[in-house]
Structure 1
Amino acid sequence: MQPESPEPFVTTLPKRNTYLHPIGCRAVLKSIPFTTKDGIMNISNTANTWLSQFKIEVTSNANRVFGNGRQQLEATVSVSPRGNETITTEQLNSITLVTLGDDGVYRELTHELRVSRTRDTLFDYYAASGSAPLAHLELKGAVLRQRFYISSSRAGGSLDRVYARISKNADTHHVTDGGAFNSSIIIESLTPLRYEHEDFVVTREDTVSKYDTDIDIYYLSFKAPGRRIIKSIPYDPVWSSIDVWSTQASRRRKSRWPSAAQVSPSGGEQTPRHHSYYSDCYSRQTSVTGTDYRFYYIHYAIEMGTALTLRIKDSTITVNNKPGHMNFVRAKTYYGPFESPPNEYRQQSRWGLLDPYGNETRIELTQGDSGNTIAFKRYD
C-alpha cells in the first residue's frame, strides 16, 4: 500500500502586489506577477511534484553586510524542473525573497532589508579582499538561477533568516522552508564604521604662483594605506557650472553667487558638481596714483568624478585626477581697476564621504588664516 500523501502545509499572506524599493537608481523589482484570490496566498510543501531542485545560498564572499543601506550581499536561488515538467519565464521571474515573521506569515524583504536584481558595483562585498566568493554558477542543463542583491539598514548584530519563494501559478506558491526543499541564508548586519577626523589626511599642492593668481589644490583622503574614498555627496547648494569673470557677466549675476573660474570636463561623462562656497576680500591697496587694487581668496569644493579642467583668470588647473581623493581649491586672485571682482560670501559646504563598503562620514569645510587655508571638521 502506498502511503498517503501528506496534507500540504498552508499559511496565508496578505495580498502584496507591490514593488520592492530599489537602492539608489537601480532597477525596481516587481514582487509577484500572479494575481491572488481574496488576498490569500497558499504556501505549499509539495514543490517536489514540480521541481527537483529549489534552494537559496549566499554567493558573495560572506553573509555579512554593513547596515548602511548601501553595501550589498549576493544571494542566488537555483531551481530545476522535475522530469517532464517545465519552468516558464513568468514562474522564474516570480522568485522573490521572504522572511518568516513571529506570526507565522512570510513577508517580502522591505524597509530595513531591501533587495534588487541589480548589483551596485560602486560598493565592494564584505571581505572582498579575502577568499573568492562561491561560484557564480551559470545555466547548466535544466538548472535556472536568479540572483538578488540585498542591503540592510538593520542595527548592528541583527541576524535575519531569508528564504526563497516561487509561484507555480496564481494559487500555488512554494518556499524553501520545509518539505523536500529546506534552505535559507542568514544575513548578519554590521554596525557601520565610524571614521574620526584623525582617520583622514589633507595635503596641499602649490599649483600656480603668479603675480595676480596663486592657486593651491587640496587633496583629502584616508590616512590608512589601501583605504579610499569612492564618492562624495554634496549636502549644500551646488552650482552646476562655473563661469569666467567679466564685467558684463558680473552685472548679470550680481544677485547670484558668482565665481572666478570656468570649468570643463576632461571627458564626455557627466560633469561633477562643484561648489564655490567662500569668497572674501582680504586686502585692498591703493597705489600712489589712487588706483584701487583688490585681492581675494575664493574656495571651491569639487565633487569626486571625472577629471575637470578649471580656468581661473589666465591659469588652468586639473582636479579629480587622483582616485580616492576629494579636491578643494583655494584661489588667491588680484583684481585691478578695470576688472569686476567677485561678490563676498560665506556659505556652508558640507559633504558625505563614502568608503568602499558604503559607510558615510560627513564633513564641513572650514577656512583659516583669513581664507588663506582650507580645513574641515566632522559633523553628524
Structure 2
Amino acid sequence: MSRYSEESVGQETTGNCGEVQAAWKSLDWFRVRCQGREFVDAPLYANGYQQMPVAVEVRALDANGKAVTLSQSQLDSIKLIDFNDESSLPVVPHNPIFEYGWTVGRSQARGDTEGDSEAADPAPASVQTVMRYLVAARSTNIKVAAMIISPDGTPFKTNVHNPSAGHFESWIQAIMVPRIAHTVDAFKIVREDELGSMWVDIDMYYISFKDESLRIVKDQFTYHDADTPHYRWQKGDWRSKVHIAFSVGEQRRFRYPSNPPSGEEHLAPWFTVNKYPGKASVTRISCWIHPDPPVSENIRVHYWDQNGNEGLIQIRHSSDGNTISIGAG
C-alpha cells in the first residue's frame, strides 16, 4: 500500500532527512531523449562499460492540474525500462572516464522520418530533467523507455502506443555494437630517457594504442599490484635493475624507494609518472640501492579505452633486466 492516501494529494509531505515530497497526481510531460532527441537509434558498445546518456524529462501536476516540483528522491525513483516487457534496465552512476562518442540517428524501428529532425516539441516551463546512464553487455537491441510511480501508486510509463492525454510514448532504440577485444597488436610501447647520473639511470616506457584516437583510461593488474616492483634484481656488485608498472590516471611524482636510507636521498630521485594522458607508464630504474627480496615477473595488465573496450597484454623484461617490451597476454 502506498504511504500516500488520496486525501494527501495536493499537500506536501516530509520524507527521509526532512526532504519535502511533492504530492502529485498526474503528468503532462514525460519523455526520454539521447542527445536531445527521441525515437532515434543510439549505438552502444555491448561491453558493460560504455554509458549511453539518457535524459528523462518530466513535469508533474497536482490534483488541480498545477505543476509541482518533485523532490530529489522522487526524481531518483525514475527508472529506465524495456519498452516491450517493462523489465528494469541496467544503469550506473556516471563515470567520466568512459565517453559516449556516437551520434544518434533516425530510428529504423519507427519506420518513418520523424527521427530525422532535431527534437521538436521543446520542453515547457517547469519540466525537470534527470540523467540515467545505460550500460549493456548483450547482443540484442534495447528499446529504452522510462517509468515513475505516483504517490497514490499509479505507474506512468513512456511505452504506450498511440497514447491519450496523460499517457506517453517516448523511447530510444539502443543499438548493440559488438565489443572490441584489443590484442597486443593494437598497442605500442615507446621508451624515453627520464634522468641519469652516476648514481641512477631511469628510463620511462609509455604504453598506448596505435590508433591515436584511442586512450587508455582504466587498468587492472592480474596477480600483481600496480606501483610496486615486478622485476628487481642485482646486476653485478654495484647496481640493480628495477621495473615498475604504474596505474593510469593523474600525473604524479614517484620515488623509488619511497624512503631511501638517511643521507642517501640522491640515490632515489623523484620522477614523473603519467606524463602523457591516455598512456600507461612503466619504468626501468638502474640504481645503487639493492632492496630485498629479488623478484622477476612478466606481468599481465588489462587496459580499457575510453569506449569501454578492453585489451590484455603482458609487460615483459629482457633477460638482463635492462629493457622492457610488451607481448600477448
TM bucket, shorter chain: 0.7 to 0.9
**CA separation in 2, counterparts of 1:149 and 1:205?**
39
**CA separation in 1, counterparts of 2:129 and 2:104?**
26
Matches within 5 A, 1:2-151: 50-59=26-35, 63-81=42-60, 84-87=65-68, 88-89=70-71, 92-100=75-83, 105-109=85-89, 114-116=90-92, 118-127=93-102, 140-151=124-135
Does 1:297 find its partner at 2:276? Answer: no
What amino acid is the match of 1:304?
V
Provide the residue aligned with 2:181 in structure 1: 194
Matches within 5 A, 1:330-369: 330-334=284-288, 341-369=291-319
Does 1:318 find its partner at 2:272? Answer: yes
Contact 2:189 2:326 in 1 (8 A): no
Deviating more after overlay: 66-75 vs 86-95: 86-95
Provide the residue aligned with 2:224 in structure 1: 237
Contact 1:115 1:148 in 2 (8 A): yes
Does 1:154 find its partner at 2:138? Answer: yes
**CA separation in 2, counterparts of 1:164 and 1:202?**
45
Q: Please list the CA deviations of residues 13-34 of structure 1 after superposition, one character each: whole Å capped at 9, or x if unmatched.
A: xxxxxxxxxxxxxxxxxxxx95
**CA separation in 2, counterparts of 1:300 and 1:161?**
46
Identity %: 24
What amino acid is the match of 2:150?
K
CA pair 165-213 structure 1, distance change in 2 beyond 3 A = same
For the residue of structure 1 that corresponds to 2:320, the secondary structure is helix
Size of the aligned set, in residue pairs, is: 274
Q: Please list the CA deviations of residues 314-335 of structure 1 after superposition, one character each: whole Å capped at 9, or x if unmatched.
A: 4332221111111111112236
Deviating more after overlay: 164-173 vs 74-83: 74-83
Provide the residue aligned with 1:308 in structure 2: 252
CA pair 310-126 structure 1, distance change in 2 beyond 3 A = closer
Deviating more after overlay: 86-95 vs 72-81: 86-95
Q: Please list the CA deviations of residues 261-281 of structure 1 after superposition, one character each: whole Å capped at 9, or x if unmatched.
A: xxxxxxxxxxxx512111123
Contact 1:60 1:73 in 2 (8 A): no
What TM-score, normalized to structure 1?
0.63
**CA separation in 2, counterparts of 1:221 and 1:206?**
17
Contact 1:163 1:185 in 2 (8 A): yes
Structure with more contact order per residue of length (Cα contacts < 8 Å, sep ≥ 6): 2
What TM-score, normalized to structure 2?
0.72
The offset of 1:35, in angstroms, is 6.7
